[in-house]
Amino acid sequence: MRPRYLTKSRFKQALECPTKLFYTGKKDEYADNSQTDDFLMALAKGGYQVGELAKYYFSGGHDIDSLDYEESLSQTEELLKQENVIIYEAAIRFENLFVRVDVLVKKGNHVKLIEVKSKSLRTVDEFYTQTGIKSEWKPYLYDVAFQKHVLTKAYPEFTVEGMLMLADKTVNATVDGLYQRFLINDTGTGRLSITAKDTDDLGVPILKAENVDHAIELIWNGKEMLGDEELSFADYVHALSEAYAADKKLEFGVSGACKSCQFRSENGLKSGFHECWTSMTPLSNEQVSQPLVTSIWNSRKTDSFIKDGIYLQKDVDPEELGNIKANPPKSGLQSAERQRMQVEKSREKDNSIYLDREGLAFEMSQVTYPLHMIDFETTAVPIPFHKGTRPYEQHAFQFSHHIIEKDGSVRHSTQWINEVPGRFPNFEFVRALRDALANDSGSVFRYSHHENTILNAIRRQLVVSDETDSDRLIKFIDSITHRTEGKGKDAAEFAGPRDMIDLCDWVQRFYYDPETNGSNSLKAILPSILNRSKKLQGKYGEPIYGSEIESLNFKDHIWLQKDGDWLLSPYKQLPKLWEKHDRDEVDRLINPTDELEDGGAAMTAYNYMQFDEMSEVERKATIAALYHYCELDTLAMVMLWEGFQDLISN
């Protein structure tokens, strides 16, 4: 029988919720929505490539390739007999604890334990608050603390230095194509491999190993809560390992963190989420499937409600959802009002939409025609694609652009994608976007903040660039964006005359549909508006897209298809970029907790396109699919505009 060791990944799950230890690894029994595609995650996050690059910064080491516990432990133990040695994936066990150390450097009895992560930082000060460790860094620092605990217990004769190796955001790559030198291979064996090439000159190191022993001491000397019990770190780890080894379920109550629980299913396999909520609350299985307080949009009071024994939205007192300002800076729903509406509609089982006709009509009357709907696809990787760029520097590689004329006619006007592997895209991207928007002074629309953020990032690149037209491009960016310069009392706001209008902001202030369950993502809002607007159903239920309505990628396309009584989302009709997953699935894999970040599928495809090993046939097919993806995003914005017009008039 395979040993039930508490490993790094399981310890991380226990930090999120100790009960997860009972559900994890039982893929034939419990639904697990976190079972990801490692290949796609590697393309999106760059973790495997960062791990491989780290080996070249600590060269001359020995790989422990075996996945077998005993074999990997034996190989590691034999290597540790050497006076000086470097080991990659060193296997260490103490009692029921087992870790694989990314890089272990041994000199005599002094050992550097190096955990390699694809996260980035500038200085170690980013780890800390005035009173302890920042919450965003806790998973990483607790990981190293756990590994050091296991290593020092297993080899008490060693003096261990805990280190975290991260992408250095203060350093620019000094060689071109660093990312492309580490090709990701899906071996089909359950473990990815990296093929490295041209590694003789990797330039200035873009990863740095930081000593984190101070953080480890804070963790080791602190107290951890396991239910109502306060434990030392060592006792906390021991309690978790004992529970996991015995396959014992640790139940200490539900919380707001349950919202992101991956062990959730409405049908098929067992739902760990439902088991927890039925065993740790008075709710029945049927009640757990009703709207819970964890789904209240943008709520910061979830844990407070749960502490008071309030689990269902219908039981929430709307007055508890925050104050409503007498003179808000913007018209429309405030956050507290939107939350109250969600709760009240849940209580009354009211599935009708809310529409602020007057407020929305006023905003729509202030626009200048023709209207421009734009959407960007971008990527940011830990190992830079290009010389002169830093880890996680933004790359804008694609945009789509629809135009709506005053007479209501629509056309897919422009699209652009960087088709050349290894070419820095940002400045050509802005030139193409400028040309697309330069023919008039019509209003420009985006959905959420992403486009504004990206253009301001490119602006900063242009300021320090040698581009001959940088001033012209900066002027264009300034005309359609807003930004804040300075901090505190010295902060100054700048907004261009065509500052992009955020359709997501309009949705939040003027429109609510209970069917979206509080989500404001375009993928949730599009099916909502299609199902609520008879005009849209009549128009896009006909094969006019790519004929009467000009399209650069579709021909005679019918966008509306039925899924029972509910219209199927157009996003479900797109061609798959990846054989195993549709776009929605990939986006959820890459960004499981951010509902407004929908670019995971395009990002992974573009990152893969940077490898020369991709065939020309595969590259052309990928580009064609990317064009379809991005076009639908701006078409969805068109449909939202048209749907709003229809709902206002009716």
Nearest CA-CA partner of 538 in 420, 457, 639: 639
- The H or E element that residue 383 is part of is none
Q: In this predicted structure, what is the pLDDT of residue 567?
A: 81
pLDDT at residue 593 greater than cutoff 60? no
- Cis preceding-peptide flag for 570 (omega within 30 of 0): no
Q: Is pLDDT above 70 for 55?
A: yes
Please answer whether residues 565 and 530 qualify as being in contact, where contact means their C-beta atoms are separated by less than 8 angstroms: no
Rounded CA gap, 447 and 506, in Å?
10
- How many helices and strands, by DSSP H and E, does the chain display? 22, 21
- Contacts of 624-627 with C-beta under 8 Å, sequence gap 24+, read 624/553, 625/574, 625/575, 625/576, 625/577, 626/377, 626/398, 626/417, 626/577, 626/602, 627/400, 627/415, 627/417, 627/552, 627/553
Structure tokens at 433: 């976007």
- Reported pTM: 0.91
Q: How much is the pLDDT for 466?
A: 95
How confident is the prediction for the chain on average, in pLDDT?
Answer: 92
12 vs 372: CA distance, rounded Å: 45
Cα gap 431→393, rounded to integer Å: 19
Residue 139's identity, in one-letter code, is: P
Give the tens place of pLDDT for each residue, 360-410.
999 999 999 999 999 999 999 999 999 999 999 999 999 999 999 999 999
Mean pLDDT of 135-139: 96
Task: Please classify residue 375 by burial: count the beta carbons closer than 10 Å to its beta carbon, then call 0-12 exposed, 13-18 middle and 19+ buried.
Answer: buried
Of 503, 518, 516, the C-alpha closest to 298 is 518
The whole-angstrom separation of Cα 237 and Cα 103 is 23
pLDDT at residue 534, rounded to an integer:
94
Q: Stretch 535-543: mean pLDDT, rounded? A: 94
The domain limits of the chain are 36-221, 256-348, 362-502, 514-649
Residue 267 has pLDDT above 90, yes or no: no
User: pLDDT of 405-464, one tens digit each?
Assistant: 999 999 999 999 999 988 999 999 999 999 999 999 999 999 999 999 999 999 999 999
The tokens for 5 are: 């060791």
Q: Do 395 and 378 meet the contact criterion of CB atoms below 8 Å apart?
A: yes
Residue with tokens 């808000």: 328
Residue 430, both tokens: 């802005």
Q: Which two tokens stand for residue 257?
A: 């963190």
Residue 568: per-residue pLDDT: 81
Q: What span, in angstroms and rounded, lies between the C-alpha atoms of 300 and 335?
A: 11
Tokens of 623: 């580009």
Q: Would you list the DSSP string of 17-70? A: -TTHHHHTT-TTTB--TT---HHHHHHHH-HHHHHHHHHHHT-S-EE----SHH
- Give dist(CA 102, CA 116) in Å, integer: 6
307 with 293: CB under 8 angstroms?
no
Which uninterrupted H or E stretch holds 116?
A: strand 110-121
| Residue ranges with strand state E in 448-569 | 482-485, 492-495, 501-502, 511-512, 561-563, 566-568
The letter for the amino acid at 559 is: W
